[in-house]
Amino acid sequence: MSHPQPLAPEEKLADAKRRLGLPQIVVICGSTRFMPEMGEADLRETAAGKIVVKPGCDLKSPHGLWSDPAGAEALKLRLDDLHRAKIRLADEALVVGDYIGDSTRAEIAYARSLGKPVRFTHPEVDPDA
């Protein structure tokens, strides 16, 4: 008699999202220099009926939360971990902007390593195209 294999965490998450009837979740990726464009992408994806997660902090813009250089570096590491969690949660990634730096390139590679579809607002910048 065979026993069913236990579900992997990713399969459990997908099953839970399906059972809850959640809409598709899209994570917005890209350089924070494109924060206004990310806001526009958020609006369009939300209007299309999707749940949107995106970067919430722009460390390149002045703010008291990251005014201390040592604290800012620690925050950046935590935000990078948080963004990878957003990628794991999402069903797909949308890369915003016409520039791909090292961080965004790593986000794309991570999403693809998880089997997530990756779309681009500027397809010509896809590093794998």
Total tally of structural domains belonging to the chain? 1
Indicate whether 13 pLDDT > 70.
yes
C-alpha span between 119 and 83 (Å, rounded)? 17
8 domain residue, yes or no: no
* The amino acid at 110: Y
Residues 6 or more apart whose CB falls under 8 angstroms from that of 80 comprise 103
Q: What is this structure's pTM?
A: 0.91
13 domain residue, yes or no: no
24 domain residue, yes or no: no
Average pLDDT of the chain, as a whole number: 93
- What is the span of the domain harbouring residue 82? 32-125
16 domain residue, yes or no: no
99 domain residue, yes or no: yes
* Averaged pLDDT for residues 36-59: 96
Q: Residues 92-119: pLDDT tens digits?
A: 999 999 999 999 999 999 999 999 999 9
43 domain residue, yes or no: yes
40 domain residue, yes or no: yes
* Averaged pLDDT for residues 38-45: 98
Q: With contact defined as beta carbons under 8 Å apart, do 55 and 32 qualify? A: yes
84 domain residue, yes or no: yes
pLDDT at 54: 96
